[in-house]
Amino acid sequence: MSYCTVQNLRSILGVGALYTDATLQEVCDAADQVLTPMLASRCAFTWRIDIANNVATAFFDASHPFTSGDAVTLTGCGSIANGAHTITNYGHSYIQFALTHADTVFPLVPWGKVAETTPTTDFTTDTAVVKAAEMIAVDIWQARNSAGAASIGLDGNPMPYRLGVSLLGRVRGLIAHAVDVRGLMG
């Protein structure tokens, strides 16, 4: 479910029935795609998958948050490994799961993502995250529907480009309690 719903965005923008739900849903989805990677979640990024004797091993550069029995979903790991899996074994820098395929080794460029299948935190009920998503959706809408992708000020004059580097900066205070601190390192 989206953090920003079509009904909320329609109300915020005051567009009534002028635009279809599908058009507004695209903006809501884009806002979610911008915001979701910033939020804390149980996930890790894998750089290689080895398959031997119908067991896949996904390797990580550091420790990961998973244990045996966890249901995870792999994305960006190629059509062979993408999808839902149950972890059968794990170590400090790897997990293993059943995967019927010929023995092979394949590096992942860019890295693949391993995430819990059912998130333990539902950010759709977090008011601050929902408001941040709505603010991002409004900025996307403004950039999409104004000349030169600039916003229009209350006085009718154009303002700077809204989707620049400062986009997340404008909502960082709202989502501070939910930010994945791993993204702040480096």
Q: Which amino acid is at 111?
A: W
Are 66 and 87 a contacting pair, CB within 8 Å?
yes
pLDDT in tens, 62-92: 888 999 999 999 999 999 999 999 999 999 9
Domains, the chain, ordered by start: 6-39+121-184 (no CATH), 43-116 (2.40.30.20)
The dihedrals phi and psi of 89, each to the nearest 5 degrees, come to -155, 155
**What is the full DSSP assignment across 106-143?**
EEEEEEEEEEESS-S--GGG-HHHHHHHHHHHHHHHHH
Confidence (pLDDT) at 118: 87
Confidence (pLDDT) at 145: 77
Confidence (pLDDT) at 182: 72
pLDDT in tens, 163-173: 666 778 888 88
Q: What is the mean pLDDT of residues 4-19?
A: 93
Q: What is the mean pLDDT of residues 46-56?
A: 96
**What is the full DSSP assignment across 72-89?**
EEEESSHHHH-EEEEEEE
pLDDT in tens, 114-159: 999 988 888 999 999 999 999 999 988 988 876 655 556 667 666 6
- Report the C-alpha gap between 100 and 81 in whole angstroms: 10
Confidence (pLDDT) at 186: 46
Confidence (pLDDT) at 107: 93
Confidence (pLDDT) at 68: 95
Confidence (pLDDT) at 89: 96
Overall pTM surpassing 0.75 (yes/no): no
Of residues 162 and 33, more confidently modeled: 33
